Every structure is written in structure tokens, then in C-alpha cells.
């Protein structure tokens, strides 16, 4: 993700970009994008360069502590990679700190900014309709019995929070998160690296009264997918970077071509998300800490976490 952000920041022609890292391992990467890399202490970096904005793209368990450190160092605009934390109390503390320091802090769910997603929302808006139901799958299948490699046990055991929230957020952000009082969450089997479940099914209504369902079986192959249904069309994202539409009266899906090349040049969603964070356009699509907290609560219910 650090590389993806640097590519975008280089293209945005900013006054300056400084990369902080604990080692020189990323030196060549930074130089490829005309960025200065420093391994000085974070306190020294902020004091020397006085950045107006900061983007945090580090391993999951370091995201919230680094965000807290940057807030205490006086940075008022922060974009932190998803899911910001695997712990609700850590997000509570970060939210309280950000509020008391008047900091605008957002969580980077870049799939909201996919060309496929924005095209579908535009088509739905122009139709005068709304999404009447959704179905999604966050299927993850790993040949290795250890699950996702190069991850800590804690991250593996909470993989839905660490990785699947991408899909859950994309499926539900236009219609509201699941209402836990009117939803059912089913878990079955387990995996050596994910003891809380290997098969996940559920259904119910969102807080805005829209029916939803999901089915993900990590015991077998599959892929991520999202479907939004309106009275006149079905919008399919599978893969999620691609939009296909099935219109009423037809059994086939027609691909919808992108209107920009951002998602082919850059990691999908990252260009528009970063531009929104830096310059304020489409700011409403950025995920607040409050919403990230609610999303994590949803993931805990879906993942059978305590």
C-alpha cells in the first residue's frame, strides 16, 4: 500500500512528499517516486518538515499507535489504512484523542472509490431507483493450512476484521450497516488459523431497512463479490474492480466500461481516495472513525469474535 500511495502522490504534483520508515529498505521505492525517505525518529520528522497531512500505511497492529503519535505531534489531517485497529477499545481511545485535538482522521476503505462502484451508484441515481437488497461474499481460500502468510497469529485469527471488511463495507455503505437486532449470523467449522469459523452465512435488514445476505466458505475456493439489486437492474462486482449490469427482462450481464483510467494506472480506488483526502472533493465517501468503529462491530458479529 505504501508503494500505491507514493505512485499517486507523485502524480498529484504536491509541494513535497516525505516518507518516514524505520529502515532504509524502502529507499529505492521512495526515490522512484521522487520522494525523500528518512529514518529519523517520527518526532524529528514532524518537527523538521511540519507536514499538513499524513497517510499511514504500515502493518495493521501499528496503525492506531502511529495515528495517536501523529495526533500528539500536532498533525490535523490523517488518513490511516484499514481497519485502523482490530480492537474496539483502541478505536475508542483514538477517536477521543482525535476529537479533543480537532483532528480530521479517516480510514482508507479505497474500494468505495472504485470506478466500478461510482459508475453503479451514478446509474442507480439516474434511474431514480434505490438499492432494494444486496448479497455479498468475502470468500478467502488459502492453499497453505497456515492461512495468510507473513501475518501474526492475532491478525490471522481476526482475518475478517483485517481483510474482509473491505467487502462488507463496499456492499453496505450505500444502504447502511446490518442491524444486529434484525440479523442472523451463522458460523460453521473452523480452520487451524481461524478457530472462530471457516464458513459464514447470514441475512437480515440493515439499519435503513434494506435486506442483505452473505455466504462465504473459506473451506473451498471462491472470490469476493458484491451484488446490488434495484427494481430494474442487478449490479454485479466480481471481481470488484469490474461492473456488470443485468437489466430487467434479460438473463445476461453487460459489462460497463470505466470512464476514467485511474483504476488501470493506479491501484484501484487509491487515486480518487487520496485526492479526496488531500483536496476535499467527494469528502463524504471517506470513512470516519465513528463509522470504522461501527464497521468493526459488524465484522465481530459476522466473524464470531468476542
Q: Where are the domains of the chain?
A: 2-110, 112-260+288-303
Confidence check: pLDDT of 123 > 90: yes
* pLDDT in the model for residue 174: 97
d(CA 84, CA 86): 7
Confidence check: pLDDT of 160 > 80: yes
* pLDDT in the model for residue 27: 76
* Residue 74, C-beta contacts closer than 8 angstroms, at least 6 positions apart: 46
Please give the average per-residue pLDDT across 80-108, as a whole number.
Answer: 97
Please give the average per-residue pLDDT across 167-180, as a whole number.
Answer: 98
Grid cell, residue 79, equals 488518513
Question: What's the whole-model pTM score?
Answer: 0.94
d(CA 31, CA 18): 11
Confidence check: pLDDT of 150 > 90: no
* pLDDT in the model for residue 264: 96
Q: Pseudo-torsion of CA 119, 120, 125, 126, nearest 10°?
A: 70
Please give the average per-residue pLDDT across 108-116, as a whole number.
Answer: 97
Confidence check: pLDDT of 23 > 90: no
Do the two domains 2-110 and 112-260+288-303 of this chain adopt the same fold?
no
Whose grid coordinates read 445476461? 252
* pLDDT in the model for residue 13: 87
* pLDDT in the model for residue 31: 82
- Nearest of 251, 200, 226, 246 to residue 114 by alpha carbon: 226
Task: Name the CATH superfamily housing domain 112-260+288-303.
Answer: Dihydrodipicolinate Reductase; domain 2 (3.30.360.10)
Binned at pLDDT 50, 70 and 90, residue 283 comes out as confident
The CA-CA-CA angle for residues 52, 82, 53, to 5°, reads 5
Question: Distances in Å between the alpha carbon of 121 and those of 127, 166, 229?
Answer: 10, 18, 12
* pLDDT in the model for residue 59: 93
Please give the average per-residue pLDDT across 74-103, as a whole number.
Answer: 97
- What mean pLDDT, rounded, does the chain reach? 94
Binned at pLDDT 50, 70 and 90, residue 65 comes out as very high
Percentage of the chain modeled with pLDDT above 90: 84
Please give the average per-residue pLDDT across 85-91, as a whole number.
Answer: 97
Query: Beta strand 199-206 with 254-256: parallel, antiparallel or unpaired?
Result: unpaired
* Residue 24, C-beta contacts closer than 8 angstroms, at least 6 positions apart: 37, 39
Binned at pLDDT 50, 70 and 90, residue 32 comes out as confident
CATH of domain 2-110: 3.40.50.720
Q: Pseudo-torsion of CA 149, 152, 156, 158, nearest 10°?
A: -150
pLDDT in tens, 234-271: 999 999 999 999 999 999 999 999 999 999 999 999 99
Amino acid at each position: 500500500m505504501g508503494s500505491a500511495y507514493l505512485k499517486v502522490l507523485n502524480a498529484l504534483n504536491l509541494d513535497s512528499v516525505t516518507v518516514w520508515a524505520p529502515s532504509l529498505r524502502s529507499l529505492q521505492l521512495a526515490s522512484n517516486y521522487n520522494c525523500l525517505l528518512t529514518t529519523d525518529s517520527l518526532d524529528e520528522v514532524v518537527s523538521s518538515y511540519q507536514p499538513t497531512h499524513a497517510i499511514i500505511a504500515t502493518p495493521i497492529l501499528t496503525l492506531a499507535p502511529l495515528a495517536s503519535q501523529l495526533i500528539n505531534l500536532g498533525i490535523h489531517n490523517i488518513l490511516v489504512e484499514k481497519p485502523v485497529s482490530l480492537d474496539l477499545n483502541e478505536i475508542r481511545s483514538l477517536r477521543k484523542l482525535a476529537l479533543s485535538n480537532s483532528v480530521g482522521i479517516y480510514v482508507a476503505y479505497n474500494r468505495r472509490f472504485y470506478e466500478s462502484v461510482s459508475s453503479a451508484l451514478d446509474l442507480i441515481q439516474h434511474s431514480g431507483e434505490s438499492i432494494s437488497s444486496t448479497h455479498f461474499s468475502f470468500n478467502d481460500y488459502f492453499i497453505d493450512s497456515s492461512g495468510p502468510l507473513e501475518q501474526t497469529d492475532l491478525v490471522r485469527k481476526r482475518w475478517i476484521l483485517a481483510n474482509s471488511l473491505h467487502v462488507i463495507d463496499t456492499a453496505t455503505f450505500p444502504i447502511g450497516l446490518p442491524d444486529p437486532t434484525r440479523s442472523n449470523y451463522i458460523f460453521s467449522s473452523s480452520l487451524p488459523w481461524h478457530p472462530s469459523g471457516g464458513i459464514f452465512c447470514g441475512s437480515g435488514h440493515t439499519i435503513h431497512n434494506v435486506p442483505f445476505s452473505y455466504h462465504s466458505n473459506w473451506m473451498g475456493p471462491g472470490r469476493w463479490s458484491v451484488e446490488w439489486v434495484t427494481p430494474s437492474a442487478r449490479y454485479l462486482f466480481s471481481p470488484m474492480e469490474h461492473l456488470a449490469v443485468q437489466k430487467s427482462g434479460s438473463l445476461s450481464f453487460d459489462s460497463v466500461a470505466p470512464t476514467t483510467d485511474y483504476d488501470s494506472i493506479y491501484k484501484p480506488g487509491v487515486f480518487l481516495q487520496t485526492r479526496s483526502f488531500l483536496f476535499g472533493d467527494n469528502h463524504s465517501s471517506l470513512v470516519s472513525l465513528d463509522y470504522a468503529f461501527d464497521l468493526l462491530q459488524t465484522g465481530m458479529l459476522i466473524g464470531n469474535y468476542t
